A and B are shown apart, each in its own frame.
Chain A
């Protein structure tokens, strides 16, 4: 009975101080949006090439490293940004040529493993070029909080939220309305059919990986500003998985919703129930949450139904 009481007690705590709960929720949303930004990159690539790009995390890192590295060497911010964008696009070209094209017909797990290999390569490369120490990324927005309606809101987190919102809107419009967006959806639907109506697969892939690289850059900037540019960033790839489970592997708005849900779930669990078991629930809570969802809805919240054939 005591155990049950301990498990239920946090609910009372929540009710007792709603302002604190609101702050925790906001913190969760903020963290969730950052996850979502990373997940977005995954979704784009998966949508258009069916590849689960494990290297997305390291792309975030690599983009941030390049930006900071350039700025540290005295390159003015805007120019550095432009150069980094160019680098990410170049990276997309290289990946398509060296990794994707030779593996085009292989099983998804092979491609997945190739992206893991890519991760190692980019990690080593990034470290070699820019050095291994943690870097500070200054985007001009102070990591301070201000009060809104009695709640503490962090400026940086707010910026991240707005960025994520803008990116999602832009991407959603891009997919729905533009010619390339439609082509991407066709490719995601059926590679061969898309090829047969003249859609250039290689171009599509370069476009997708470039856009994904840019999204990675945005995520890298936000994360880097918040926690410094360091190698743990590359492990974010793993955290994106539960987000993708919830939001579906192919849904752009789903990535945002999924991210927010994971962010909130994690934060709330850690703050309210964490102390009961010694903390660090965040390490696994997201996965267990995703697991729970999967048991109820095997294709995730927004995902497409898995079709079985006989």
Chain B
């Protein structure tokens, strides 16, 4: 009764096209935003460092992959590689130009990743479906190998790792050992909020329709005037931008330092899980999926404690792996359209509440 659209009429197309046309939704989103901004004041360092920051960083990557695979229908297993491009180019740029604002560096590294994405997206014109996944695998393995082999990328550090140098924004340290988790969290939050909004705008407009047309029926799309080349490459470009920025954030805001192992094929699969569990073709889903995948191991590690079971570490790890796999299968059976669909369903139930039907 509280949550419904009855009696809410739109008098302009503009108001009908709004992202949150229902006032109740707008209020809810504002509440969430307020809470999100206030979190650093109340959350423990552990929660910020181990959960909240990675959720925001991975959500950025998940949005990127979702745009490519969920909206444009191009399966990609190269997410890790594109994130690596973002991370290493951010590292090179900021070490070469230490005075440039780190946010600008992130954006620039996104552009570099975007360019690489376009190059590896070119095969998508000839190749579809699973075969395209192989092309993206080529990108994944080649890029990781490249960053491993060419010492220039790590500024010839003997350890082979890249480390985020200390940088500040508006006088506050946001990267490096002195940056507080709260500061890093806020940067990640603002970046992902801005870019999620941008993504939402893109997908509800011309570009989004072009991508979805290619995804749903690429031949009919071509016949009504969609140019497959620009549609697919734009998807790769935008997607890789997001993944690149996420990769830079991964090193600069979350891990602090990393080697190529952090960007290997497991990362690609992890982000793909997030997108699928969250719901393909849904920006909200990317957030939900990232949260789910990141919270799950924590839950699995802590649950036995909660019920008083003491498990040896190795066994716990194995059970975690098993539970992870089982949950993925379970989830795919129960709701293949992901958490976003579950959310939608509960909103529909909410419309009727307190009535049962």
Residues of A within 8 A of B (CB): 52, 98-99, 102-103, 106-110, 112-114, 116-125, 127-128, 132, 235, 238, 241-242, 245, 249, 277-278, 280-281, 283-284, 287-288, 290-291, 294-295, 298, 300, 306, 308-310
Contact = CB atoms under 8 A, between A and B. Distances in A.
11 contacts: A109-B276, A113-B273, A116-B328, A117-B329, A124-B322, A124-B325, A235-B265, A290-B138, A294-B126, A298-B131, A310-B220
Contact of B219 (A116, A238, A287, A310): A310
B31 to A, nearest CB: 33
B8 interface: no
B24 to A, nearest CB: 32
Nearest to B144: A283
Interface in B85-127: 123, 126-127
A99 B328 CA distance: 11
Contacts of B344: none
Contacts of A278: 149
Interface in B287-324: 314-315, 317-324
A124 B333 contact: no
Contacts of A109: 75, 276
B183 interface: no
Interface in B252-275: 265, 269, 272-273
Nearest to A113: B276
Contacts of A121: 321-322, 324-326, 329
Contacts of B332: 103, 106, 110, 113-114, 117
Contact of B336 (A110, A125, A241, A281): A110
B333 A295 contact: no
B219 A284 contact: no
Contacts of A281: 145
A306 B134 CA distance: 16
B28 interface: no
A283 B140 CA distance: 10
Contacts of B317: 124
A98 B149 CA distance: 43
A120 B328 contact: yes
A294 B321 contact: no
A114 B329 contact: yes
A108 B131 CA distance: 13
Nearest to A124: B321
Contact of B333 (A103, A119, A308): A103
A52 to B, nearest CB: 6
Contacts of B141: 283-284, 287
B135 interface: yes
B137 interface: yes
A117 B318 contact: no
Contacts of B319: 124, 128
Query: Could you tell me the dominant secondary structure of chain A's interface residues?
Result: helix
A218 B219 CA distance: 43
Contact of A287 (B134, B320, B324, B328): B134
Tell which of B220, B315, B325 has the most Cβ of chain A within 10 Å: B325
B328 A114 contact: yes
B128 interface: yes
A122 B329 CA distance: 12
B343 interface: no
A246 B318 CA distance: 36
B223 interface: yes
B134 A241 contact: yes
A116 B327 CA distance: 11
A125 B137 contact: no
Contact of A241 (B123, B126, B137): B137
B156 interface: no
Nearest to A132: B314
B250 to A, nearest CB: 22
Contact of B265 (A52, A120, A124, A238): A238
A117 B127 contact: no
